[in-house]
Amino acid sequence: MKLSAAIITLLAGSAAAFAPAMPSAAVRTSSSIQQPTVMFAEPKEEEGLDLDLGEMFDMFDAADKGEDFDKAIKEVKKEK
């Protein structure tokens, strides 16, 4: 009798350890709120600088020296 009570207590305790933290009803109500998904959103057109490796290093050097970004990018693109 004591052994079966100990086994039942052990099994109940281990089953409770793997139970979900939130009840499934709470999960369903919170997931029913629809929010826009980034995955299916239209991609935004972004203009890039399209720099090669050498131009990138030139921009890093200009940033280290504290030069103005717009001035530095014009100088880097002129060198090409």
pLDDT tens digits, one per residue of 17-59: 666 666 655 555 555 566 666 676 676 776 777 888 999 999 9
pLDDT band at 78 (very low <50, low <70, confident <90, very high): confident
CA distances from 37 to 5, 30, 44, 77 (A): 50, 16, 14, 37
pLDDT tens digits, one per residue of 3-21: 887 788 777 776 666 666 6
pLDDT surpassing 90 at residue 67:
yes
